[in-house]
Amino acid sequence: MAGSNEVNANESKMVVPLNTWVLISNFKLAYNMLRRPDGTFDRHLAEFLDRKVPANAFPVNGVISFDLLIDRATNLLARIYRPAPTAPPDSHRPSLHADLQSPPSPDPFPVIIFFHGGSFAHSSSNSAIYDSLCRRFVSLCGAVVISVNYRRSPEHRYPCAYDDGWTALKWASTEPWLHSGKDAKLRVFLSGDSSGGNIAHHVAVRAAESGIEVSGNILLNPMFGGNQRTESENTLDGKYFVTVQDRYWYWKAFLPEGADRDHPACNPFGPNGMKLEELPFTKTLVTVAGLDLTRDWQLAYAEGLEKAGHDVKLVYREQATIGFYFLPNTDHFYEVMEEIKNFVSSNC
Partner 1 sequence: MGPYPFGSGTAASGWAAADSGPQCSASEIDGLLAGAGYRVRSSDLLHVAHSLERLESAIGGGPADHLASAEAVRYNPSDLTTWVNSILSELSSSLPPLRPPPAAPVAGTWPDLTCFSLPYPQYQTAVIAATRQREEEEGSAIRLVHLLVTCADAVQRGDSGLAGNIIEEMRVVLTRVNTGFGIGKVAGYFVDALCRRIYSPCSSSSSASVAGSAADQEILYHHFYEVSPYLKFAHFMANQAILEAFDGYDRVHVIDFNLMDGLQWPALIQALALRAGGPPFLRLTGIGPPSPDGRDALREVGLRLAELALSVRVRFAFRGVAASRIDDVRPWMLQVVPGEAVAVNSVLQLHRLLGDPGDDAAAPIDSVLGWIVRIQPKIVTVVEQEADHNRPSFLDRFTEALFYYSTMFDSLEAGGGATQKQQQAVAEVYLQREVCNIVCCEGAARVERHEPLVRWRARLGRAGLRAVHLGSNAFKQASMLLTLFSGEGYCVEEVDGCLTLGWHSRPLISASAWRADADVAPLPDSQLFNPGIAATINSTSISGNDNNNTNNFQSMHHGSGNGNAAANNQQNNATCDGGVIGL
Residue 346: CB minimum distance to partner 1, A:
23
Contact 60, 135 (CB under 8 A): yes
Name which of 32 and 210 has its Cβ closer to partner 1. 32
The answer to whether the CB of 134 falls within 8 A of the CB of 79 is yes
Given the complex with partner 1, which of 62 and 256 has the nearer CB atom?
62
CA-to-CA distance for 135 and 325, rounded, in angstroms? 13
Of 31 and 281, the one with the shorter C-beta distance to partner 1 is 31
Judged by beta carbon, residue 57 or residue 274, the one nearer partner 1 is 57
C-alpha distances in Å from residue 345, one per residue of 112, 140, 146, 288: 12, 10, 18, 21
Angle at the Cα of 293 from the Cα atoms of 287 and 299, rounded to 5 degrees:
40
CB of 254 to partner 1, least distance (A): 19
Exactly one of 12, 125, 194, 195 is catalytic; which is it? 194
**Distance of alpha carbon 141 from alpha carbon 144, whole angstroms:** 9
Decide if 194 is catalytic: yes
Contact 130, 79 (CB under 8 A): no
Would you say 33 or 274 has its CB closer to partner 1? Answer: 33
CB of 268 to partner 1, least distance (A): 30
Kindly state the smallest distance separating residue 114's Cβ from partner 1, in Å. 15
Q: Could you tell me which of 3, 240, 260, 217 has the C-alpha nearest to residue 110?
A: 217
Q: What DSSP string runs through 163-214?
A: HHHHHHHHHHHT-GGGEETTTTEE-EEEEEETHHHHHHHHHHHHHHHHT---
Task: Specify the pairing of strand 185-186 against strand 179-180.
Answer: antiparallel
Residue 267 Cβ, how far from partner 1 at the closest point, in Å?
A: 26
Question: Nearer Cβ to partner 1, position 139 or 173?
Answer: 139
Distance CA 55, CA 305 (A): 36
In angstroms, what is the minimal distance from the CB of 173 to partner 1? Answer: 18
Catalytic residues: 194
